[in-house]
Structures are given as structure tokens and as C-alpha cells.
Amino acid sequence: MLVVMQAHATEEQVRAVCKKIESLGYRAHPMPGEQRTAVGITGNAGVVEPGTLDEMPGVAELIRVSKPYKLVSRDVKPDNTVITFPGSDATIGGKNLAIMAGPCGVETREQAFAAAERVHRAGAQFFRGGAYKPRTSPYTFQGLGEEGLKILADIRSLFGLRIITEAIDNESLELVEAYADIIQIGARNMQNYSLLKRAGRARKPVMLKRGLSATLDEFLMAAEYIMSEGNYNVILCERGIRTFTDHTRNTLDLSIVPAVQKRSHLPILVDPSHGTGKRHKVIPLSRAAIAVGADGLLVEVHCDPDHALSDGAQSLYPDQLDELMAQVRQIAPVVGRSVVEAPAPISAITQ
Amino acid sequence: MLVVMQAHATEEQVRAVCKKIESLGYRAHPMPGEQRTAVGITGNAGVVEPGTLDEMPGVAELIRVSKPYKLVSRDVKPDNTVITFPGSDATIGGKNLAIMAGPCGVETREQAFAAAERVHRAGAQFFRGGAYKPRTSPYTFQGLGEEGLKILADIRSLFGLRIITEAIDNESLELVEAYADIIQIGARNMQNYSLLKRAGRARKPVMLKRGLSATLDEFLMAAEYIMSEGNYNVILCERGIRTFTDHTRNTLDLSIVPAVQKRSHLPILVDPSHGTGKRHKVIPLSRAAIAVGADGLLVEVHCDPDHALSDGAQSLYPDQLDELMAQVRQIAPVVGRSVVEAPAPISAITQ
Amino acid sequence: MLVVMQAHATEEQVRAVCKKIESLGYRAHPMPGEQRTAVGITGNAGVVEPGTLDEMPGVAELIRVSKPYKLVSRDVKPDNTVITFPGSDATIGGKNLAIMAGPCGVETREQAFAAAERVHRAGAQFFRGGAYKPRTSPYTFQGLGEEGLKILADIRSLFGLRIITEAIDNESLELVEAYADIIQIGARNMQNYSLLKRAGRARKPVMLKRGLSATLDEFLMAAEYIMSEGNYNVILCERGIRTFTDHTRNTLDLSIVPAVQKRSHLPILVDPSHGTGKRHKVIPLSRAAIAVGADGLLVEVHCDPDHALSDGAQSLYPDQLDELMAQVRQIAPVVGRSVVEAPAPISAITQ
Amino acid sequence: MLVVMQAHATEEQVRAVCKKIESLGYRAHPMPGEQRTAVGITGNAGVVEPGTLDEMPGVAELIRVSKPYKLVSRDVKPDNTVITFPGSDATIGGKNLAIMAGPCGVETREQAFAAAERVHRAGAQFFRGGAYKPRTSPYTFQGLGEEGLKILADIRSLFGLRIITEAIDNESLELVEAYADIIQIGARNMQNYSLLKRAGRARKPVMLKRGLSATLDEFLMAAEYIMSEGNYNVILCERGIRTFTDHTRNTLDLSIVPAVQKRSHLPILVDPSHGTGKRHKVIPLSRAAIAVGADGLLVEVHCDPDHALSDGAQSLYPDQLDELMAQVRQIAPVVGRSVVEAPAPISAITQ
């Protein structure tokens, strides 16, 4: 924390500020300048609550310096976190890109299996699909719940895909933890601290999506909540932020990828489906996400998007997923990455 | 919903769009214009999922027309909702302004009672104070929990103040419902639909704070979630939105007050403390909130803000609350409002 | 400027940063903390260009401390600037509120005079009306140009109203300077530095509107541009900023009023017409602007807004201006202000 | 334009709206729905000014449908615009990517030539460098003016690079038109309509940078201003928008690239230097810009960024430009593009 004094601040006012800082248990470092004095604050007592420093006579403004997060920081752990999955060669955060694809919501067993067959055939290692859907309106499809989770577990058994699906409260988190491989916390719940703490006690990796108006610090602090409870397998996901623009549903902030990588050891993925809300933008922005250096993608794909119960307009057709994978394979080496080979098809059994 | 065709769209493309619309169970209303054709969609099947309309050949864009909320709307209930409290003359949404004041968090019995005594003396009828604090960092003060709720209940008994305090998950909501008069849902939980539904089953009024990046529609839809479960006593609260500006913590969007009042019958309050984050702006913005026509205020006040465990920099001193109340009393009549008289002091007993 | 080092930065890296700072002609003030070291920079050579400090090994981030503006600052001139007009008792920035009203654009002599008669009768002392209109589309009404300025000058002669009108380039500024009393620089030109410098050489006061995405610092720096050329009569005007919200055209940021008043001696007005874009919000937000402490208002009024060539939807009817003035007169004393008495009508001559 | 009526609107109110629309010279298309009626507006009289439709009894809201731009639209010209340069094989908008590189500002002949030699050697065909600098502060380096333009012209002669440089007002535009190959209009002047019109009368191509808070429509309308005066050689450039995020100077909105390409035939480039403001983000975001499908890049490079007079922190070192070009060459084929071969070095003469 740094206290910047007004140009007209008296020496007495500067002294009062220093005294105040010390009374709060910190050390004050006055730095007289040509025009004004600044007072640095150091100490081991954690973040200073601005308290009344901000309003003391002669104070122009307060500037926060130290970052309040610890466990997410590269200062604490310089090497990249690589998340592995028992019984699978899939990884997140390592050399291989993690591609997660599937429908917005699990609607029926047939719909989910049809999508999974194509996701598997395209060479992705992770299957996404919501069993619990946070919807803006209480009158729209809210997901199949545990029935959906069972379908997802069956997809894992058949196709060997790792399953990622969203938990929306403590009850659903418990079930998601039991059935899935990765617990997703959605953007709307990024600061639902009660849920974050519960996720921090789960024994499965957690994917945390960036809130629509979250700064980088807030995003990392939300990850810190999870890690502070003991779960260090956290994956970050950029999915678009809210801005004044109206040509996309959200504005995909790809520059957060190198920013996260500079400050944190956690892997970061990009979701261009929610990030744009428009099918024709998903492939271009997927290419861009890989090119910028993301650790993978989360994309929506649906075999019949016209009849999807949610987010049909942003879902790729399965053939588009193949096209996307082909392009990702071409760009990956430019950023020192690779994509695992597409597997042999699961013959004869697509249901 | 309205489908706008491209200027070059063929008649066949227009027909295909109409056919598609009808296959989805709606009626299509093609409107040929000089430059391009638009197709209106009507029908009683609720909101149209954009589906693939958006991506059909010849389609330029989709425009949403009908609002997805019902119960919050003035279309359904033209008269203002006025919330009353048994055993009290306090109201929210009627002619009297609802003034809610108190510390950010309940820290100790002494601190809370000292604040309550001044809040009561200033003439406010509602006492605010957090027992559960959603904090950005897991390492900062998280609230006293049920012990804090008991202190708040004692304040109601002694001072006759109605109590408003925040619930952050289903567990805390149950306790808040038992101890307090109004259940607050914070900005970070505005789209925590699981919590909203639980609040909708509570038997106490709910104050819903606007999310940092919530549009008016999303704000009203969140209220609809609560109402759709049967709880019609919902109070809205503007508390600042996230913008590019850096001279305040958030940007207080006072223009939402007349916007809400045009569309909805629900009362709306303003929180200038969180809305600005700076003590010296709280009184000016409180005056502005009353002048714009809000149904009341939610302000933070602390007897010793220098030592507050949270949000000290934005808490008023008790004398400033008196000053604010005096100014509010002067402005109220200009907008056809009044403020109840300050009560006789609770003599001799301030603890 | 403050350089924050990474937690792992070596002493050598800190020394390299200090050396670099000194090689740039500044003084370095290292401040070792528990977790990391920060290095303060002082010196009289103006603002430090971040240069490569930002990218030196061990550097976590750079934080700007000193404000780059001088002449606009209260540090330089503690007393409020009050702008006066020869041959008139109108002032801006003093105890009296400055009310400026009139149509968006001067369309015809009849239209302008009809509006002026009502503006004068309502008690406003300033008449606004555009002769040069910056329009988003090149195909819409662009203003009457010098003919419009002549009409405005005649309105001054007849009604004694001071005239404010917009200049959009050096050519129009020259004419506006000749005909009007206040030169308006519009929001879109807030960082048109060439125009600002020309305005700084004008002998008339300049009203500078805040750009749609201008921070407080950028707003004040734009005013500094004008003042740095010798024109100290600058009036600031908040007119709404661009945010994600969609219920208004812009978001009126009333909290900038106390923020400006804390840092600068310049007067600040509010334009609730452009700030909201909706007629039914203009009166509520006008009341709020006065209540927050603004030095006056800039509002659009039109005798026949249905047929206005621009911005009809946000123009008040003349009777609404009377209502607004009545409410402003009631709120003014609460903030220690007054409004001059409405004058005797200019009888018989309304053209 | 579409008028949405309130659910409770009477038939009489609907009729009044239709009558009003027709009195304005348009056709009204009432569309009764289950819950409410909407009224479509068509006609050949251009954009409807919302006028009082917005405020008529029974009207819920107005929705704009038709786009106000014509010449920029693919509706008018389906094929991509490809800009060529006499005496050069450089193009913008065709199969070859246009790479523009150079220092933020031309500081000295030596500095500019040193940068040009590296830009040429790296294989870029365009050299950028400011002779007129729009700076936030009046007290910082403002550019060399015509002397800078002469240096740029000499660089063209020696290296065969096409020159792009910014014009900030009518006077500088005239000189830029004389000396350079492309006239740049900066983000701050995107709605300086006087300057846009002057650029529309120039005989050189114009690069228009997106304003910090410009929507896609506003961006295209600004291009329309230039084209409406007869200059059809317009290049668009995304350079970051202003959002709440603080980890970059601006937020680079790469999703506007496919959005522009869907609506307009004009080429669009990306400027990752201003778009991020941080050197370590320039290469990652450059890769992403090519991957998303942009027609080229505008990047800052400086041989000695530590001593740059402006924007040093975001300038690449020359070796980094080589690295960037190598990566761009690898990604280009994935998006069906190519980059011209790097030329033979200009031997012996680097000054």
C-alpha cells in the first residue's frame, strides 16, 4: 500500500499519516518528492484495510501494491501446474492441449451419446455437458440433474472421455464430484464463496470460469478460495467479459491468457462458445485462443443445434468440430504444443 | 422476436425462415420493406430459443422483443408493491422513505449496539449489519455467523429497528430467515439461482442487490426467480455497476431507478456506500438517490470506522448520518415523499 | 511512479532497477517489505515514461502515482473558479446554479425563438442550441452553420440569454467564438487535441464535455490542454459514459461531480438529456444532479419534439422545463445554492 | 424500426401509433401477438428519428432494425475490397497479409532509419511512425511534424516500404497526404467528423482506428463518412476497447474481425501494441490476430525502446519482430493467407 499526499500537505500531516500506519502495526516509509510526498507501507500483517487513511487530512489517494493471493501465485510455485487423470493419458496444463467438447446441456441419452461419439472421433479427450443449468429465466430448461450425470458417467465408460460438468450448489457439487472427472464452477458463481469453499474440499479437479465482470485479481482470488481449502487442482477458464459492445454476447478477453501465465502457475482454457455466442465466430476465436497460448478449449457441439434446448445458436455442428480440430492441430506446434492423435472409432457401438 | 433478413435475401430464404418459425410452433409475420424484409414472430410458447434462425441463409440478425419476466412486471400488477412489517409502522415502497443504516459487518456486541443507538436516534427504521460476509479474499474477516444474528435480534428487541442482513448460502439463509426481518441477497449472488429459489420459499421479504454487471432485464429476471417460488415481497437495490471508471469503486447507476419504476411494481433502494466506496461521496450520492426518486437508502455507518474490520473507508461517522438524514428530510417533499419523525431516545440503555 | 518487484526478485535485480531509474534522471527510493520490495521514483523531470522498467527482470508491475495535470488542480488554485459574463449577472461556478436550456439543434428562426422565449420565461440564463451538429450518420441533419449562429446571436440580443453552442473544428470554432458566449467542445472531440489547443487560444469560456469513455484523469488532462494555451475559463460537463447497460443510451456518472470538486477548482455541470437519452428520465436525473452538488444543468427543450430534426426523444416539452425549474429551486438550498429569479416576460415580442 | 406496445395497450393506442408512423411518411405493420402487439415500420425515407414514438401512450419500447450504413456494407459490394499501391506489390485485403511495423513516433532520422532497416529486413512491406502524436498530456513529446514526414518519405525511397502515418487535423492531413501512402486516423479522432470528411476527399487510402468505446455500427458509420465523400480505400483497424479490466491498457476485441467481415467488404487489421500496452503480450496477441482471420497487423518496434520518447513499454525489440514474422508465416496458411518473402537486405546503406 502506498499513501500519496497532496502537494500542499504539511509535514505535520505526513507525520500523522506515518503515526497512523504504525499504530495499525505496519512500517511507514515516507518518500519526499519534488511536488509531493508518498508514504510506503510494509509489514507482515496482510492487506491493509484502507480504513481512514484515505480520508486523513492531506491524503490525496491510496494505491494498493501487494497482491492478496498466495497459493495461485508463481511466486509460491514457479512451475506450471499439470493436472492428470488416473487411468487416462489426458492432461491439462502440460504440452498437450486439452480439448473439451459437447453439448450445452444433456437433454437425452441419445442426444448426449450422439455428440459424444463425434467428440471422441474428433480426437477430444474431454466431454462437456450440463446436468444442472443456471438459466437467466426460471421458466426455461434447467437440466436433467442426477439422471444427466448418469448419462455422462456412461459416456466415460464407453468412450473413455473424461467428464466435465457444472455444479451450481453444494448439493449438486456432491453429485458432480461422485460422477464426473472435473467439477465446473460457472461464471455466475465465480464469487459464490460458499460454493468455492465446498469445491476446495472436493477430491476432483475444479474448473473455475471467469465472472462476467471479474478483474484478473478477483479471478485469481476466487481460485485462491478453492486452493485455500486444500484442492490445488484448479483450472481457469476465460469465457468472455461484459463490455459495451453489442456485436457479440460477451467480449472474449484473450489477453488474459498471457497475463494469467505471468502471475500464476495454473492452467487456463478458453471457451469461445460462450465467449462469442455466435456459431460463425467459434472457429476463428478457437484458432486465436490456441495461437495466444491457452492450454485448451471448451466448445459446444450439438448434432442437431436447431432443436437444442439451450444455446443452440452457438453450438458447432459435428463436422465443424472436425474442422476446428484440424486447424488446432496445425497451429499447436507454433506455440510448442501438440494434440493427441484421434483414436480408433468405437466401432458398432454408438449407443 | 424479430428476424431481420439481409438486403439480398431471396424470397425463398424468407419463406424458409417463415416455415422454420412455424415448425417451432410460432406464427411468422413477414414484413417486406424497401430495402429488406423483417419477419415478426408471435406465439404463446414463451421465449423463442434463437436456435438456428440466427444462422439460416439470408438472415442478418435476430432481435428479441418480448420480455421474459412476468411477475415483476407492471403489466401484471400496475400498483406499487408496498412491504409492511408486523408490529411496526415501517414500510418499503410507500410514501415513507425506507432508511437502512448500520455497519458493514457485526464485529462485536458493543460495536453493533453503539451503531444501532445512533441509527435509531437519527430516525432510521432499519438496521443493517453483516453476520456472513462475502469477501474477495479467504484470508479476511468472514463475519460472526449465528452469533452476529443473535446480536442483531437483540438490537431489534431493544431499539425496535427492523433488521436486514445478508444470506450467502442455503444454510445461512435459514438462520437469517429465523432471526432477521429482511433477507439480503448480495450482488455477487444475484445469479446464484439455487439461493434465489430458496429465498423464494422464505416467509420474509428479500432485498436483492443488483449484480456488478447485471442489465436491467437480468436484474428483473433474478427477482422473477424469487417471485416464481411464491415470495412476492422483493425489494431491489442498486449498488453500483462495474465500468471503466477508476475514480470510484463502482459507478452508481441512478438512472435505473426511473427505469425500474417504469417496468416493475417492486420498490427500489440505493446503496451509495458500496456504490461509491468513498466516504466523502456517500452524502452527495444519498441526496441524489432520494432526488431521483428511490424508495430509500442503504448506508454504512460505524462509530469507529478507522478500526472497522471491513469497508471502513466508506462508512459514515454517526454525525454524518444525522447530517444525511437532515438533508434527506429536506429533499423528500420535492419527490412527494416523507421520512418518519426521529423517535424519542432509548434513554439510559445503550447496551 | 512506483516499481513493485516480484517476491523472488534478487537484490541485484533491485539494484539494476534503481540504477536504471537514476540513469533516467530520477531518484530511486527502495523500500524493502516482508514479501517484496517496492522502489519509489521521485524527481522534477515530469512524468516517467514506463520505458523498459516494466519489463526488467524481477519487476512485477509499475504504478503511476503523481498526476500529470497542473493548472486544473486544486493544488495550484485552491479556490473555485467562477466564470462571469460582461453585461450579465449570470455566473458559472458560484453560488447561483447555471441552467442552460434549448433545443438540440437550431433548425429554424421560429423554432429557436419559440424555445428561447420559454427558456427565458422559465428563468434559465443560458440558451443552448447547435449550429454545427456532430452526427453518427453522414446522411442526417448537420446543422445550419453560420446562419444558425446568427439566429443565436439575435436570441441573445432579444432575451438577454448567454449563448452556448458547439464548435466541431477550427473553422467553426472561430465563428462560434465570434457569435456566442461559451464555446462547447463535444464529447466526441474531448481528445481532439488540435481543437482543444485552438480553444485554449480563444477569448471566450469553453465548456468541455466528458468523452464517452474518458477517465477522470483524461477528462482533467483535456481541460489542461485548453488551460495550457492560456484560457483559464473552462467548464466541465458530465454527459454520460458508455457501459454495458442498455436501459439508457449512456450511464450518467453523477459520482464524478464530488470527484472533480475534490481535485479541481473548475466548475462542473451535468447534461441529463444526453446522459439518459430518454425524456422521462431527464427530470429525475436533473434533480439528482443538483442534489449531488453540480454547478448547473444543460438540458434539451423543444416546443415540438415530435418534429425535431435530432434528439427529439430526449427533449423536454417547455412545460416540463418549468416543472424542472420549480424542483431545482426547491433542492438548491439543501446544497447551499440558489437560482436567480425568473425575469419579467419579454412581452409581445416572441419573434 | 419496430415499436413494441405494452401488454395493456389499447387498440386505440396501437392505432394512434400507426397513424403517427404514417404521418411521418412511413408504412406501419401492426403485428398482434398473444401478449402484446408490435408495429413494424418500413419506408424509403431513411432512418426514423425515434421522435415521440418512444413516449406515446401504450408504447413499451423502440427497437432499431435497419442499419444506417450503405457504402461500407456487403449488401452493396459483396466482394472484399483489396487496396493496391502503385509501384509496389503490397496489397491490403487480398491473400497476402499486410504487416505494418515501426516506432510509435519518429524521433530522429537515425532512430527511424535504424527501425526501418529492421522492418524491411523482417519482411514487412509497410512502415509506421508518427510525425504528429496525439498525447494525453500537453507537456509530452508531440512529434516532429513535417520534418518527421520528410524522414518517412526518405525511408520509402531507400527501403521501398509504403508509409503509414497519422493525421490529427486538416492541416496535418494535407501534409500526410502529400508525403505518405496511407493516412491514419487515430482512435481519439474516430468521430471527428470534420477530419473524416477531409480524409474522404483525399486521394490516398485511409486507415481508420476504432474508437475506445465505439460499437461496430459506429465504427462502420465512421468509415461511411469517409466513403460518402468519395474515398473508397478505407482500412479498418481494431486497437483495443475500454473495459473494466486492468491487466491490460485496453481490451483487444478480436471477435470484431469476423463481425466486420460478415457485414463489410473493407479490410480489417489489428494493432496488438496499443491493444495491450505491454510488450510481453504483443507476440501472443499478434498470433491470435492472424489466427482469427485479420488482414494484417500494425505493430510497434523500436531499436532502443528504453529510450523511446513514447510508448516504449509496448514496443518490440527488432529481434522480436523477426520472431513474430516467423510465427505469422507459420499460421498464415491455416487461414488461407500468405506473407511475401523477406527481401534481399539493402546492403551497406542503412542510413
What are the residues facing A126 on neighbouring strands?
Answer: A100, A162
Per-residue pLDDT, D47: 53
Range D79-91 average pLDDT:
93
- Helix residue spans in chain A (DSSP H): 11-23, 109-122, 146-159, 170-179, 193-200, 216-228, 256-263, 272-276, 279-292, 318-331
Cα distances from C299 to residues B172, C132, C144, C190, in angstroms, run 48, 17, 20, 19
For residues D149 and D179, is the Cβ–Cβ distance under 8 A?
yes
Distance CA D148, CA D293 (A): 33
Distance CA B39, CA B17 (A): 8
Domains and CATH numbers, chain A: 2-63 (3.30.70.1140), 83-335 (3.20.20.70)
Distance CA B69, CA B264 (A): 10
Give one word for D160, left, alpha or beta, with left for phi > 0 and alpha for psi -120 to 50. left
Distance CA B282, CA B302 (A): 13
Per-residue pLDDT, D349: 47
Distance CA B178, CA B181 (A): 8
Q: What is the mean pLDDT of chain A?
A: 89
- Grid coordinates representing A171 are 448439493
What are the residues facing B96 on neighbouring strands?
Answer: B338
Range C193-208 average pLDDT:
96
Q: Which residues lie below 8 Å from residue C348, measured CB to CB, with a gap of 6+?
A: none
Per-residue pLDDT, A350: 46
Q: Which residues of A touch C40 (CB under 8 A)?
A: 2, 29, 31, 38, 40
Of B217, B245, B255, the CB nearest to C248: B255
| Displacement of CA A57 from its chain's centroid (Å) | 42
Per-residue pLDDT, A222: 96
Using a CB–CB cut-off of 8 Å, the residues of C that contact B are: 213, 215-217, 241, 243-248, 251-259, 262, 275-276, 280-281, 284-285, 287-293, 327, 330-331, 333-335
Sign of the Cα pseudo-torsion (A115, A118, A121, A124, in order): negative
Using a CB–CB cut-off of 8 Å, the residues of B that contact C are: 213, 215-217, 241, 243-248, 251-259, 262, 275-276, 280-281, 284-285, 287-293, 327, 330-331, 333-335
Distance CA C326, CA C320 (A): 10
Please, which chains are in contact with C (at least 3 CB pairs closer than 8 A)? Answer: A, B, D
Pairwise pLDDT comparison (B208 vs A86), residue with the higher score = B208
Inspect the interface and report whether the beta carbons of B34 and D40 lie closer than 8 Å.
no
3-state secondary structure of C192: coil
Distance CA C102, CA D8 (A): 35
3-state secondary structure of B327: helix
Distance CA A273, CA A300 (A): 6
Inspect the interface and report whether the beta carbons of C43 and A35 lie closer than 8 Å.
no
Per-residue pLDDT, A47: 53
DSSP string covering A53-118: GGGSTTEEEEE--S-S--TTBTTT--SPP-EE-TTS--EESSSB-EEEEE-SB---HHHHHHHHHH
- Grid coordinates representing D257 are 474481425
For residues B305 and B105, is the Cβ–Cβ distance under 8 A?
no
Please report the beta strands in chain B, taking only residues with DSSP state E, as ranges in sequence order: 2-5, 27-32, 37-42, 59-63, 83-84, 91-92, 98-102, 126-128, 162-166, 182-185, 206-209, 234-238, 268-270, 296-300
Nearest CA of chain B to the CA of C286: how many Å? 8
Q: Which residues lie below 8 Å from residue D112, measured CB to CB, with a gap of 6+?
A: D102, D103, D106, D129, D148, D151, D152, D155
Q: What is the mean pLDDT of chain C?
A: 90
Q: pLDDT tens for residues D311-338? A: 777 899 999 999 999 999 999 999 999 9
- Residue C87: other Cβ atoms inside 10 A: 7
Range D191-198 average pLDDT:
95
Q: pLDDT tens for residues D253-295? A: 999 999 999 999 999 999 999 988 888 999 999 999 999 999 9
Per-residue pLDDT, A20: 85
Biggest CA–CA distance in chain C, Å, is 84
User: Which of B185, B192, B282 should be substituted to probe chain A, the one whose Cβ sees the most A Cβ atoms within 10 Å?
Assistant: B192
Amino acid at B39: V
Per-residue pLDDT, D75: 82
Per-residue pLDDT, C44: 47
Position A346 confidence tier, pLDDT thresholds 50, 70, 90: low
Does C244 score more than 90 pLDDT?
yes
Distance CA A239, CA A147 (A): 27
Inspect the interface and report whether the beta carbons of C193 and D55 lie closer than 8 Å.
no
| Displacement of CA B125 from its chain's centroid (Å) | 19
Q: pLDDT tens for residues D206-242? A: 999 999 999 999 999 999 999 999 999 999 999 999 9
Of C4, C33, C75, the CB nearest to A8: C75
Q: pLDDT tens for residues C101-112? A: 999 999 999 999
Cα distances from C198 to residues C169, C205, C238, in angstroms, run 9, 12, 22
- Residue D156: other Cβ atoms inside 10 A: 17
Per-residue pLDDT, A349: 47
Please, which chains are in contact with D (at least 3 CB pairs closer than 8 A)? Answer: A, B, C
3-state secondary structure of B20: helix
Of B6, B36, B244, the CB nearest to D242: B244
Closest CA to C104 of C150, C141, C68, C139: C141
Does D343 score more than 80 pLDDT?
no
Does B191 score more than 70 pLDDT?
yes
Q: Which residues lie below 8 Å from residue D108, measured CB to CB, with a gap of 6+?
A: none
Amino acid at C321: L
Q: In the 3-class helix/strand/coil scheme, how is chain D assigned residue by residue? A: CEEEECCCCCHHHHHHHHHHHHHCCCEEEEEECCCCEEEEEECCCCCCCCCCHHHCCCEEEEECCCCCCCCCECCCCCCCCCEECCCCCCEECCCECEEEEECCECCCHHHHHHHHHHHHHHCCCEEECECCCCCCCCCCCCCCCHHHHHHHHHHHHHHCCEEEEECCCHHHHHHHHHHCCEEEECHHHCCCHHHHHHHHCCCCCEEEECCCCCCHHHHHHHHHHHHHCCCCCEEEEECCECCCCCCCCCECCCCHHHHHHHHECCCEEECHHHHHCCHHHHHHHHHHHHHHCCCEEEEEECCCHHHCCCCHHHCECHHHHHHHHHHHHHHHHHHCCECCCCCCCCCCCCC
Closest CA to A50 of B303, B308, C62, C66: B308
Q: What is the mean pLDDT of chain D?
A: 90
Cα distances from C183 to residues C83, C166, C168, C177, C205, in angstroms, run 13, 6, 10, 6, 6
Distance CA D308, CA C315 (A): 49
Amino acid at D235: I
Range B63-73 average pLDDT:
77
- Residue B333: other Cβ atoms inside 10 A: 11
Q: pLDDT tens for residues A95-112? A: 999 999 999 999 999 999
10 Å CB burial of residue D341 (0-12, 13-18, 19+) is exposed
Q: pLDDT tens for residues A139-151? A: 877 889 999 999 9
Bridging pattern class, strands A296-300 and D162-166: unpaired
For residues B297 and B331, is the Cβ–Cβ distance under 8 A?
no
Does C49 score more than 70 pLDDT?
no
Of A252, A262, A333, the CB nearest to D254: A252
For residues B219 and B236, is the Cβ–Cβ distance under 8 A?
yes
Does D88 score more than 80 pLDDT?
yes
User: Which of C3, C8, C13, C35 should be substituted to probe chain A, the one whose Cβ sees the most A Cβ atoms within 10 Å?
Assistant: C35
Q: pLDDT tens for residues B284-325? A: 999 999 999 999 999 999 988 877 777 777 899 999 999 999
Distance CA B50, CA B325 (A): 50
Closest CA to C211 of C192, C235, C230: C192
Per-residue pLDDT, D65: 61
Inspect the interface and report whether the beta carbons of B305 and A280 lie closer than 8 Å.
no
Per-residue pLDDT, B47: 53
Position B349 confidence tier, pLDDT thresholds 50, 70, 90: very low
Q: Exposure string (b/e) for A121-147, b if CB count within 10 Å is 16 or more?
A: bbbbbbbbbbbbbbbbbbbebbbbeee
Q: Which residues of C touch D135 (CB under 8 A)?
A: 193
Share of chain C above pLDDT 70, in %: 93
Does C351 score more than 60 pLDDT?
no
Nearest CA of chain C to the CA of B158: how many Å? 33
Range B42-63 average pLDDT:
68
Q: Which residues lie below 8 Å from residue D206, measured CB to CB, with a gap of 6+?
A: D182, D183, D184, D185, D199, D200, D226, D231, D233, D234, D235
Smallest CA–CA distance from B27 into chain D, residue: D33
**Candidate from A37-41, B342-346, C57-61, D296-300 with smallest mean pLDDT:** B342-346
For residues B115 and B103, is the Cβ–Cβ distance under 8 A?
yes
Per-residue pLDDT, C306: 75
Per-residue pLDDT, C85: 95
Q: Which residues lie below 8 Å from residue C67, measured CB to CB, with a gap of 6+?
A: C73, C217, C220, C263
- Grid coordinates representing C242 are 458508455
Position B58 confidence tier, pLDDT thresholds 50, 70, 90: confident
Q: Which residues of A touch B51 (CB under 8 A)?
A: 305-308, 312-313
Inspect the interface and report whether the beta carbons of A8 and C66 lie closer than 8 Å.
no
Range A174-199 average pLDDT:
97
For residues A107 and A294, is the Cβ–Cβ distance under 8 A?
no
Q: Which residues lie below 8 Å from residue D285, measured CB to CB, with a gap of 6+?
A: A254, A255, A258, A292, D252, D254, D270, D272, D275, D276
Pairwise pLDDT comparison (A66 vs D20), residue with the higher score = D20
Q: How many residues does chain A have?
A: 351
Q: pLDDT tens for residues C122-137? A: 999 999 999 998 888 8
Range D245-260 average pLDDT:
95
Of B189, B306, B307, the CB nearest to A192: B189
Q: Which residues lie below 8 Å from residue D110, measured CB to CB, with a gap of 6+?
A: D351
Range A322-332 average pLDDT:
97
- Residue C203: other Cβ atoms inside 10 A: 9
Per-residue pLDDT, B212: 96
The most confident of B64-68, C33-37, C267-271, by mean pLDDT: C267-271
Per-residue pLDDT, D55: 75
Q: pLDDT tens for residues A230-278? A: 999 999 999 999 999 989 999 999 999 999 999 999 999 999 999 888 8
